[in-house]
Amino acid sequence: MGNRLILPARLIKIQFLKIAGDFHTFALQTRYTSKFIPTGMARLRNQKLFDQLRKQNPVFTYTGYEITVDEGNLVLEFSFNINDKFFFRPRSVIRTGLLIGDLAGKIEKIRPLVSNLAFQIGMIELISYWKASCSPELRILPANLTSEQVIWWKKLYFHGLGEFFYLNSIEPDFESFVDIRPAGATFFEAVTVDLEDKFLVPIGGGKDSAVTLSLLMNQGESILPLIMNPRGATIETIRAAGLEMNQVIVIERTIDPLLITMNNMEFLNGHTPFSAMLAFYSLMCSAITGYGNIALSNESSANESTIPGTMINHQYSKSVGFERDFREYYKAGISDDFNYFSFLRPLSELQIAKIFSSLKVYHDVFRSCNAGSKTDSWCGKCPKCLFTHIMLSAFLGIREADRIIGRPMLDDAELQQTFNELAGYSEIKPFECVGTTLEVKQALRMIARRMNDEPLPFLLRAFIQKGDEIYDEPDFQVMEEPHFVREKLVEILKLHLL
């Protein structure tokens, strides 16, 4: 399959499995090694398998992409293969519903941009397939890349796969883990695109995107929510905001089922930079809808490494480093007219929780538990649930947090090790999207003050006995730097933190 643009075309029906989910100096020789093993996540010893798979499968090829319009929806298909032995054809559908009258006509007007974006989306989609074999050579056939772009992608793959390498006990180095060889005839160039001062807001179903959606809507901004693979919490968040799903742009992303089969065989598997993927898809959605501002909900806490003293960060593609890199990348090679930024970047998790505590309409519909995502529930046992419970308790009280999560988590002695990891009493944080250890300690101190003379739950009592008196309540008016939020929007955040 080559890189073709077809308007419109009859689509071949293929069965797929749905899934959710800078040019600055950096250490080229960073190695992902550590003596620490995260609780609840077995660290696999796969260095030997890594070496073996690379020898057996020396080349991974990005063969092509295809763009079609079918019944008002934009369909993207990609073609990858491992050493001409394993072939993948993942597919995504961007459902615009009645939001765009003549999608085919719109795409025809911006054909070079759409082709460029489709190619770029393929560059981030391929990482899910490449990681199965970690082939040392990556051939890019649909288009060419500048040397700066090659370095950019190599950096994203390297750091975006930090958790994957660590949990598989693989010790790569930047120079040799992959050789990206672009061989396409086309060099895409940055173009001008007509975009409006409106806001595209990705919705994940958690408290953060609910805060972004609510604050921008209340400010009277023109909002278009974006959801990738809708689930209960994302749909209910839209409804709680007073919107309907026909007012949302939906991305249905799928993977080739062969990859699922390979994940259950002698191939490698693990975490990939999902937020980087969402970033490229959001540019495509911005281009076809005309909504020029892409307002993410990543907070300052995402910048903290999961393993202190290293660059291994579960939230790498949510960090301000990636955000800065991504903005530079699309400005140089796609279009300078997009405005991708995180609305909540100036805030900590505690500040976001403070705002969210007043948005009661979302309290019973949001979900932040990965373990319970398929059933739209809180498992009440994982680091994400415990962290959310702590943040809610700081502002709503323990009883209300118990009601929302469904369990008295701060009284669960079985969560002691998870609690230690969240609060910084362990050598490693959980591989989850959680706040900093300082924020957790600040929140715990706030909870203790709220309780006055009431008996303290088990985990909180153990924390107080440690005597960490230095962790006082933060100044909620302080905005973190750096960020890419316009001053007018920063003032909105400050107003809601009074």
Q: Are 129 and 121 in contact (CB under 8 A)?
A: no
Amino acid 91 reads: R
Average pLDDT of the residues in 14-42: 36
Taking only the tens place, the pLDDT of each residue in 420-455 is 999 999 888 989 989 999 999 999 999 999 988 889
pTM: 0.91
* Residue with the larger pLDDT of the pair 191 and 5: 191
What separation in angstroms does the CA of 29 have from each of 154, 155, 157, 306, 316? Answer: 13, 11, 14, 19, 18
Give 90's contacts (C-beta < 8 A, 6+ positions apart).
Answer: 16, 77, 78, 80, 125, 128, 129, 253, 254, 255, 256
- pLDDT confidence of residue 40: 46
Average pLDDT of the residues in 268-292: 97
- pLDDT confidence of residue 71: 87
Q: Are 417 and 300 in contact (CB under 8 A)?
A: no
Average pLDDT of the residues in 359-378: 94
Q: Name the pLDDT band for 470 (thresholds 50, 70, 90).
A: low
Q: Are 396 and 362 in contact (CB under 8 A)?
A: no
Distance CA 210, CA 159 (A): 28
Q: Indicate if the pLDDT at residue 36 is higher than 80.
A: no
What are the E-state strand segments in 97-248?
Answer: 137-140, 179-182, 196-202, 223-228
Q: Name the pLDDT band for 3 (thresholds 50, 70, 90).
A: low
**Cross-strand partners of 202:** 226
H-assigned helices in 161-308: 162-167, 207-218, 232-240, 257-263, 274-289
**Phi and psi of 197, rounded to 5°?**
-80, 60
Residue with tokens 């080739």: 256
Residue with tokens 């800065």: 324
Q: Indicate if the pLDDT at residue 7 is higher than 50.
A: no
Q: With b meaning 16 or more CB within 10 Å and e meaning fewer, what string describes 396-419?
A: bebeebbebbebbbbbbeebeebb
Taking only the tens place, the pLDDT of each residue in 60-106 is 999 999 999 998 899 999 999 999 999 999 999 999 977 888 999 99
Q: Are 312 and 32 in contact (CB under 8 A)?
A: yes
Q: Is 129 exposed, middle or buried (0-12, 13-18, 19+ CB in 10 A)?
A: buried
Taking only the tens place, the pLDDT of each residue in 159-170 is 999 999 999 999
